[in-house]
Amino acid sequence: MTTVEITRFRVPAERADDLLAARPAMLRDFQADRAGFLGARLIRLAADEWLDIVFWGSSEDYAESRRRGANRPGIQTFFSLIDSVISTEEGTTTDVVGA
C-alpha cells in the first residue's frame, strides 16, 4: 500500500498561472529532497480551489516531508502562492500507483 497526502487549497484566479509555472520546480525539489516521494497529481476544482494528491512510500516519509516544510526554493515558491489551505488528509491506496 502507498501513503497518500490529500490537500485542498485556494489560489486566487490571478495567481493560477504562476502556481502552474511553479509546479515543476516544486516537484524537482521533492524528488531531490524527499525520501519516499513517489509522485503527485494537481487537480483544479471550481471556485479557485485545487486538490493536490501526493503519493509517499510510507506514512513516515509523509511525516518527514511535513517536518521539512518549505525548505527548498521551488517548494517555497509553490507554497507561497497558496492563499489558504482548506484541508489536509492522509490515507492509503488499495491498488498500485499508476494503474
For 23-56, the pLDDT digits (tens) are: 999 999 999 999 999 999 999 999 899 999 999 9
Round to whole Å and give the CA distance between 39 and 24. 12
How do residues 84-98 score in pLDDT, each as one tens digit? Answer: 999 999 999 987 656
Range of the domain at 40: 3-92
Beta bridge partner(s), residue 47: none
Q: Assess if residue 20 is contained within a domain.
A: yes
pTM of the model: 0.92
Q: Assess if residue 99 is contained within a domain.
A: no
Query: Sheet holding 37-44: strands in order across?
Result: 37-44, 49-56, 3-10, 84-92
Q: Assess if residue 97 is contained within a domain.
A: no
Q: Which residues neighbour 32 within 8 Å (Cβ) at sequence distance 6 or greater?
A: 72
Could you give the angle at the alpha carbon of 41 between the alpha carbons of 37 and 90, nearest 5°? Answer: 60
Tell me the CATH number at 80.
3.30.70.100
